[in-house]
């Protein structure tokens, strides 16, 4: 993670937080061109400190002045101080930052944690390593965090309650202009589609307490807000989870064809694997996941047909028939975003753009051929763009209709971008909604998850591992299930099959609540390591 910071004291005016002696707050406004601050000479604050109006702005560490305005309303709610900030400027505004000075140092020194943190592991800012969490990416899966872990000592809760999926960041650093004491930044970014001359934040919340019970209450209220905002339904009752999925206890990752063309398993070999494993594990407990079923992994994206080197259409039909006869559910893999420009020349229409739409955003370019440089032909496309979304819908739906698979997996779905042309989350909702309308009994799963995404995709591979014991496991387990990741190595030489990691040496520990383990099957898994494979599969039944 690269960290950049100002090389000077910005000299922001700061104001007392009502009801929190010693804690001060300030605001910064970010347009597409610059960073702006409050011009203290043009600020008025109400007698109770709960309303601020700035009739002008400053910049360059208070050296320059700029037209513009900021309005801040501070209120109290359930023990929390709540900011709502509005700003206006002639330049399009992208971000608002709330700065908090003077928070209890003992809490920050114990470190930040979040619902998916494990016990005893916190993020502590230092002079050379600030803490930076981004939502919605894997380091921050819901915009709620707490600093401090000891009941009876100061605890700091920060949260952003937003009914839309928009970027948020939590940043804590120890700048020299703050006497190397912690400054906490709570950052709100507007949807790039709506960047304009005004901006209004969601609720930016701060709660300081000495009670872990109140921390739990604060998160429970945050979770209740998410349920209402995104229509999150409980795992047991949600209609987009087929009944059979609630019986699944094991995922078999049946690796197909590598990007280079190497075949780990033909479809007939996959079928033989299912026959072997179901001698030890009832088929109704198995979800067979097939990455690289379309031929050269990722190379064919976004076109999907059973790969010829794996057995083609006939071989894939035999695999489906075998799975059905054994009671196993089959789920092939598709890319939610990935496209090879060599086979999809219309990519620029839907490729992710930078927030200012000035260039294509290129991500996830693995070195599959090991020339020690990332491949040059992969771009990520936004299913919020109608043409690509329809293409992907027809590709996925066509496989379901033609072969009768039980589930479909949409790779990289938890990747998030603030695309100024098409809203990504809304694209997900439309794509998955149409798939459910066409195929109501088919599971639609994804890779990675965050709070709002659980409302769209109830089952997802975990980016965090299946053995992480969450502080607040209900963030996941109440609404969805996480599967062992494709990249987890197969028994034996721990090959990651079609995945670009190559070999891995991490073996999962005890599987935690809300998670389902996976076992990878590559070319030598049963010929050399059958006992290890069967032992791992049997162990899944005991969870």
Residue ranges per structural domain of the chain:
15-230, 243-335+384-541
Could you tell me the pLDDT band of residue 376, with boundaries at 50, 70 and 90?
confident
Give the predicted TM-score (pTM) of the model.
Answer: 0.96
- Assess whether pLDDT exceeds 80 at residue 2: no
Helices (H), 186-304: 212-230, 267-277
Of 453, 374, 443, residue with least CA distance to 416: 453
CA dist., res. 396 & res. 294, Å (int): 12
Contact 92, 197 (CB under 8 A): yes
Q: What would the mean pLDDT of 103-117 be, rounded to a whole number? A: 97
Q: What would the mean pLDDT of 72-97 be, rounded to a whole number? A: 98
Q: How many residues does the chain have?
A: 543
DSSP 3-state assignment of 227?
helix
CA dist., res. 320 & res. 271, Å (int): 8
Residue 469, CB-side half-sphere exposure with 13 Å CA sphere: 5
CA dist., res. 530 & res. 385, Å (int): 45
Q: Is the peptide bond between 136 and the residue preceding it cis, with omega within 30 degrees of 0? A: yes
Q: Which CATH number is 15-230 given? A: 2.60.40
Q: In sequence order, which residues have a C-beta less than 8 Å from that of residue 216 and are 6 or more positions away?
A: none
Report which DSSP code applies to 311: T
According to DSSP, the residues that pair with 333 across neighbouring strands are 409
Q: What would the mean pLDDT of 265-269 be, rounded to a whole number? A: 98
Contact 361, 354 (CB under 8 A): yes
CA angle 350, 356, 357 (to 5 degrees): 25
Summarize pLDDT for 456-489 with one digit per residue, the tens: 999 999 999 999 899 999 999 999 999 999 998 8
CA dist., res. 447 & res. 438, Å (int): 22
Summarize pLDDT for 387-431 with one digit per residue, the tens: 999 999 999 999 999 999 999 999 999 999 999 999 999 999 999
Q: What would the mean pLDDT of 345-349 be, rounded to a whole number? A: 93
- Assess whether pLDDT exceeds 80 at residue 497: yes
Q: Among 3.60.21.10, 3.40.50.10540, 3.20.20.80, 3.30.70.260, what is the CATH number of 243-335+384-541?
A: 3.20.20.80
Share of the chain above pLDDT 90, in %: 90
Of 119, 267, 235, 241, residue with least CA distance to 514: 235
Contact 459, 480 (CB under 8 A): yes
Contact 525, 492 (CB under 8 A): yes
- Assess whether pLDDT exceeds 80 at residue 314: yes
Q: What would the mean pLDDT of 252-281 be, rounded to a whole number? A: 97
Of 199, 203, 134, 192, residue with least CA distance to 162: 203
Neighbours of 121 (CB within 10 A): 10
- Backbone φ and ψ for 216, nearest 5 degrees, come out as -60, -40
Q: In sequence order, which residues have a C-beta less than 8 Å from that of residue 72 and are 6 or more positions away?
A: 27, 51, 52, 53, 83, 84, 85, 86
User: Do the domains 15-230 and 243-335+384-541 sit in the same CATH topology, yes or no?
Assistant: no
Q: Which residues of 427-436 are buried (b: 16+ CB within 10 A; e: fewer)?
A: bbbbbbeebe
Helices (H), 158-286: 212-230, 267-277
């Amino acid at each position: 993670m690269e960290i950049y910071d100002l090389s000077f004291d910005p000299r922001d005016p700061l104001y007392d937080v009502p009801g929190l002696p010693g804690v001060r707050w300030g605001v910064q406004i970010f347009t597409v061109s610059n960073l702006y601050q409050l011009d203290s000479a043009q600020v008025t604050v109400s007698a109770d400190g709960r309303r601020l109006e700035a009739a002008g702005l400053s910049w360059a560490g208070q050296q320059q002045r700029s037209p513009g305005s900021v309005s801040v309303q501070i209120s109290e709610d359930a023990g929390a101080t709540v900011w709502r900030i509005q700003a206006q400027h002639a330049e399009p505004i992208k971000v608002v930052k709330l700065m908090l000075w003077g928070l209890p140092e003992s809490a920050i020194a114990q470190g930040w944690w979040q619902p998916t943190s494990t016990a005893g592991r916190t993020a502590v800012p230092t002079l050379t390593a600030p803490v930076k969490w981004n939502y919605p990416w894997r380091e921050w899966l819901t915009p709620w965090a707490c600093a401090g872990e000891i009941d009876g000592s100061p605890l700091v809760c920060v949260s952003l309650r937003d009914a839309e999926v928009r970027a948020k960041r939590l940043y804590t650093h120890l700048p020299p202009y703050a006497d190397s004491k912690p400054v906490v930044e709570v950052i709100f970014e507007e949807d790039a589609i709506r960047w304009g001359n005004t901006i209004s934040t969601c609720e930016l919340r701060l709660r300081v307490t000495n009670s872990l019970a109140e921390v739990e209450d604060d998160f429970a209220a945050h979770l209740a807000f998410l349920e209402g905002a995104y229509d999150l339904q409980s795992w047991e009752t949600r209609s987009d989870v087929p009944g059979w999925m609630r019986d699944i206890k094991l995922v078999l990752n049946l690796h197909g064809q590598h990007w280079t063309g190497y075949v780990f398993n033909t479809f007939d070999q996959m079928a033989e694997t299912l026959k072997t494993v179901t001698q030890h594990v009832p088929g109704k407990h198995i979800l067979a996941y097939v990455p690289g079923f379309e031929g050269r992994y990722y190379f064919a994206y976004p076109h999907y047909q059973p790969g010829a080197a794996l057995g083609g259409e006939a071989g894939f039909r035999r695999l489906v028939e075998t799975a059905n006869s054994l009671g196993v559910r089959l789920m092939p893999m598709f890319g939610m975003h990935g496209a090879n420009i060599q086979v999809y020349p219309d990519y620029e229409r839907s490729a992710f753009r930078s927030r200012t739409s000035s260039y294509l955003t290129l991500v996830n370019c693995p070195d599959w051929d090991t020339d020690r440089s990332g491949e040059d032909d992969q771009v990520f496309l936004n299913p919020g763009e109608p043409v690509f979304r329809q293409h992907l819908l027809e590709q996925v739906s066509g496989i379901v209709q033609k072969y009768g698979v039980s589930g479909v997996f949409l790779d990289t779905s938890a990747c998030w971008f603030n695309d100024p042309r098409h809203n990504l989350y809304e694209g997900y909702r439309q794509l998955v909604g149409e798939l459910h309308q066409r195929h109501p009994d088919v599971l639609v799963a994804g890779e990675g998850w965050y709070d709002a995404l659980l409302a769209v995709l109830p089952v997802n591979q975990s980016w965090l591992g299946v053995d992480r014991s969450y502080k607040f496991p209900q963030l996941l387990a109440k609404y969805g299930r996480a599967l062992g990741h494709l990249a987890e190595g197969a028994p034996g030489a721990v090959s990651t099959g079609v995945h670009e990691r190559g070999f891995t040496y991490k073996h999962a520990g005890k599987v935690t609540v809300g998670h389902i383990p996976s076992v990878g099957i590559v070319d030598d898994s049963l010929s050399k390591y059958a006992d290890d494979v069967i032992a791992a599969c049997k162990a899944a039944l005991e969870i």
